[in-house]
Amino acid sequence: MSKEHPPHHIPVLLDATLNTLNPQAGESYLDLTAGYGGHAGEVLKRTENLPGSVLVDRDDYAIQHLSKYEDKGVRLMHTDFESAARQLIKEGRAFDVILIDLGVSSPQLDQGERGFSFKNTGPLDMRMDRRQALTAHELIQGTTVEELAKIIHEYGEERYMDAKRIAELIIANRPFTSTEALAHLIAEHHRGKWGHIHPATRTFQALRIAVNDELGHIERTLPLLPKLLHKGGRVGVISFHSLEDRLVKRFFKDQFELGLEAELAPITKKPITGAAEDVHNPRARSAKLRVAVKK
């Protein structure tokens, strides 16, 4: 995939996001995971206030695609959302609308050379930011059975005994030259039948989360969000798997239970789900959107 010809990207829960965040003309917008601009483009149309808005992503392909907004006064930040949030707070910035769309993007999964998915064979990379040193290959090469089993168990949500067996298998057969080789090994030694979910799916999820410190970034960034909002500003968070959603749900719940001391108030009392979304966008099926407003 070239930077000049990015893949078609379908933003999840777009209508629900626009309806609940309700961006208005003249408002400022911060997208902490702007990706290929699916949500950002529609929000910026509504705000009609492009100068002062900020789009963040740690993927260089995404930043290249988002560069078209720079001519309109939008600031691009090529970094992870935690670093961007801390930098913007240091600068004294605050916004009317904030969005975080968590997890890996469809274009990343579709790029075989990025090594996120075994459906498109490529090197064991999995870095969202290709400037970082740690890849999935390096992680596997430098870990012990016990460490790898913990990663697969905690981040892939495999039963510990299965995670330990997979970790032993991986360590005994490393190094791997491709995503396909790793996935084939796990599938070949899988016990029992498997249906629609490939036996390597949880292991790949675990490695990706570990390589990119995804949960750590989420846990450290959520408490920063109120500091980035004007009074009356709205923040939306879209999560996809249970590990992400657990952190987001807990943060919103803790905020709401503070009563008069709470900085945020719920707009969505229950998450809006993507179960009924376009059948042509399978990624949307597990999506959950939570939105709150700064008091």
Write the pLDDT tens digit of every residue in 273-283.
986 555 556 66
CA distance 179 to 121: 6
Answer yes or no: is pLDDT of 291 > 90: yes
- Taking a C-beta distance cutoff of 8 angstroms, is the pair 126, 114 a contact? yes
* Predicted pLDDT of residue 285: 74
Residues annotated within the binding site for S-adenosyl-L-methionine are 37-39, 57, 81, 101, 108
Beta bridge partners of 57: 78
Architecture, CATH, for domain 117-213: Orthogonal Bundle (1.10)
Domain with CATH 1.10.150.170 in the chain: 117-213
* pTM listed for this prediction: 0.91
CATH of domain 14-107+216-294: 3.40.50.150
Q: Is 267 left (phi over 0), alpha (psi -120 to 50) or beta?
A: alpha
Helices (H), 111-178: 136-141, 145-156, 160-173
For 94, phi then psi, to 5°, come to -145, 155
Provide, rounded to the nearest whole percent, the portion of the chain with pLDDT above 90. Answer: 75
Write the pLDDT tens digit of every residue in 172-206.
999 998 999 999 999 999 988 787 889 999 999 99
Domain with CATH 3.40.50.150 in the chain: 14-107+216-294
Residues annotated within the binding site are 37-39, 57, 81, 101, 108
Write the pLDDT tens digit of every residue in 139-154.
999 999 999 999 999 9
